[in-house]
């Protein structure tokens, strides 16, 4: 059977504008309009409006059936409640390679956290897998009116996976200014001119300096010079680590058991119905176990078990000694408070009532 698997990424938004913006970015990122589906309720007259791919025949009801299948799916009710409350549902069909890309786009527009709103197990953005398989029909030959078929049904447990949003981080960075100050010592020069009276004889050196002369003294002062240097002091690195965990799924499955009762052999021994069989079991109990102090109700399950298993097709044509080990394990599992050696004779008697063989088992008292 040929199969193909596609993923549907689903998000619920508080308003149409956010959903529409997300849909436009999906199209700009390469997702076609036919892959995008939007559903919302008009808040003025509660009319449900579907927009997007024509693949979703049947409107929102058909969409829910395609994605979730059973009406009993818990997540389906959470999303149905979200849409009926006036929120906007947006989904995009894609292959597995583009699931993360579609989910990242939808998360940028603040989808509704359905888990918090509905106290359920679904989150804002959910990914589900839908497998489309080519089906084949089988023609069945007509049967006669006297032929009846007993369907034997057996359930199988199938466990799949889907990706749901469990959380994440959003990192913002911005430039912040803050005032700073620094104290520095600055030098500044001042020229002083002083005139001091003296009274001394003129020297030859004094006369040499009597010519015209210009003396220049310059004043200097320090002033601050400000410069900035940016340095990287820390890095914030974001990465994801994927881990695996094993989870055991426990459930129950059902199957059909068919017990075939040989009516011909029963009539040969005078047993024409259930009441006669039950009376026969009681007579056997009275003659073999009546003096043991036990009650018929204690042994009745053993009689019935032997009678029913002898009609099971799995044991057809086999002698009791060939299947005794299997019968013992199955019986002790069903009736853990019973002792096989105590009720073995009753099981054997019920078995022989169907097979028509005389019991050679030893009766325990």
**What CATH number has the domain bearing residue 23?**
3.30.70.120
Residues 6+ apart with CB under 8 A from 344: 302, 324, 328, 361, 362, 364
Cβ-in-10-Å burial (0-12, 13-18, 19+) of 14 comes to middle
Query: Quick one: pLDDT at residue 69?
Result: 67
Distances 114 to 7, 82, 122 between C-alpha atoms, Å: 19, 7, 6
Tell me the pLDDT tens digit for each residue of 307-339: 998 888 888 888 899 999 999 999 988 888 888
Q: Is the dihedral of CA 288, 291, 297, 299 positive or negative?
A: negative
pTM: 0.33
pLDDT tier at 291, thresholds 50, 70, 90: confident
| Cα–Cα dist 73/115, whole Å | 15
- Neighbouring C-beta atoms of residue 255, cutoff 10 Å: 9
The three-point CA angle 165-166-169 to 5° equals 95
Residue 346 within any structural domain of the chain: yes
Full strand arrangement of the beta sheet holding 3-13: 48-52, 36-41, 88-94, 3-13, 125-133
Domain end, chosen from 113, 133, 153, is at 133
Residues 6+ apart with CB under 8 A from 99: 7, 9, 127, 163
Query: Quick one: pLDDT at residue 261?
Result: 58
Tell me the pLDDT tens digit for each residue of 222-252: 999 998 889 998 998 888 888 999 999 888 8
Distances 56 to 26, 291, 320, 324 between C-alpha atoms, Å: 18, 74, 60, 58
Maximum separation of any 2 CA atoms in the chain, in Å: 173
Q: Is the pLDDT of residue 116 over 80?
A: no
Residue 69 within any structural domain of the chain: yes
Tell me the pLDDT tens digit for each residue of 151-161: 888 888 888 88
Q: pLDDT > 70: what percent of the chain?
A: 74
CB 82 within 8 A of CB 3: no
Tell me the pLDDT tens digit for each residue of 69-93: 666 666 777 788 888 888 898 989 9
Residue 227 within any structural domain of the chain: no
Stronger pLDDT, 319 or 46, i.e. the higher one: 319
| Cα–Cα dist 113/132, whole Å | 29
Q: Domain range for residue 294?
A: 263-355
Mean pLDDT of the chain, nearest integer: 78
Locate 184 and state its tokens.
Answer: 């520095």
Query: Quick one: pLDDT at residue 57?
Result: 53
Q: Is the pLDDT of residue 27 over 90?
A: yes
Residue 235 within any structural domain of the chain: no
| Average pLDDT for 201-212 | 74
Domain end, chosen from 104, 133, 162, is at 133
Residue 184 within any structural domain of the chain: no
Query: Quick one: pLDDT at residue 363?
Result: 43
Domain end, chosen from 133, 168, 188, is at 133
| Average pLDDT for 290-297 | 84
Residue 37 within any structural domain of the chain: yes
69 CA to centre of own chain:
15
Q: Is the pLDDT of residue 192 over 80?
A: yes
Query: Quick one: pLDDT at residue 107?
Result: 92
Locate 224 and state its tokens.
Answer: 């601050």
Residue 153 within any structural domain of the chain: no
Query: Quick one: pLDDT at residue 131?
Result: 40
What residue spans of 223-319 are helical by DSSP H?
263-268, 274-289, 296-310
Stronger pLDDT, 309 or 263, i.e. the higher one: 309
| Cα–Cα dist 119/122, whole Å | 9
Q: Is the pLDDT of residue 278 over 50?
A: yes
Residue 217 within any structural domain of the chain: no
Number of domains within the chain: 2
Query: Quick one: pLDDT at residue 143?
Result: 44
Locate 330 and state its tokens.
Answer: 């199955």
């Amino acid at each position: 059977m040929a199969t193909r698997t596609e993923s549907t990424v689903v998000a619920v938004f508080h308003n149409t504008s956010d959903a529409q913006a997300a849909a436009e970015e999906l199209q700009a990122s390469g997702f076609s309009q036919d892959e995008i589906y939007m559903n919302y309720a008009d808040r003025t007259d509660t009319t449900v409006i579907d927009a997007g791919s024509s693949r979703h025949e049947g409107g929102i009801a058909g969409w829910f059936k395609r994605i979730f299948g059973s009406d009993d799916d818990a997540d389906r009710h959470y999303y149905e409640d979200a849409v009926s409350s006036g929120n906007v549902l947006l989904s995009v069909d894609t292959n597995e390679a583009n699931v993360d890309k579609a989910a990242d786009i939808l998360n940028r527009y603040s989808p509704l956290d359905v888990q918090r709103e509905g106290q359920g197990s679904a989150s804002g953005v959910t990914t589900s897998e839908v497998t489309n398989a080519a089906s084949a029909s089988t023609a069945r030959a007509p049967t006669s009116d006297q032929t009846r078929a007993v369907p034997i049904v057996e359930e199988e447990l199938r466990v799949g996976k889907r990706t749901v949003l469990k959380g994440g981080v959003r990192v913002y960075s911005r430039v912040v200014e803050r005032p700073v100050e620094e104290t520095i010592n600055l030098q500044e020069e001042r020229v002083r001119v002083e005139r001091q009276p003296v009274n001394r004889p003129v020297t030859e050196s004094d006369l040499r300096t009597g010519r015209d002369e210009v003396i220049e003294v310059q004043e200097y002062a320090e002033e601050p010079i400000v410069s900035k240097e940016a340095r990287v002091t820390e890095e914030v690195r974001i990465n994801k680590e994927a881990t695996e965990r094993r989870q055991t799924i426990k459930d129950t499955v059902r199957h059909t058991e068919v017990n075939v009762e040989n009516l011909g052999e029963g009539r040969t021994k005078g047993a024409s119905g259930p009441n006669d069989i039950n009376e026969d079991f009681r007579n056997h109990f009275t003659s073999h176990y009546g003096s043991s102090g036990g009650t018929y109700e204690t042994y009745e399950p053993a009689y019935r078990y032997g009678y029913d298993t002898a009609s099971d097709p799995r044991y057809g044509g086999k002698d009791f000694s060939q299947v005794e080990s299997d019968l013992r394990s199955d019986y002790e599992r069903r009736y853990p408070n019973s002792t096989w050696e105590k009720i073995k004779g009753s099981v054997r008697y019920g078995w022989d009532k169907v097979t028509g063989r005389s019991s050679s088992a030893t009766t325990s008292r």
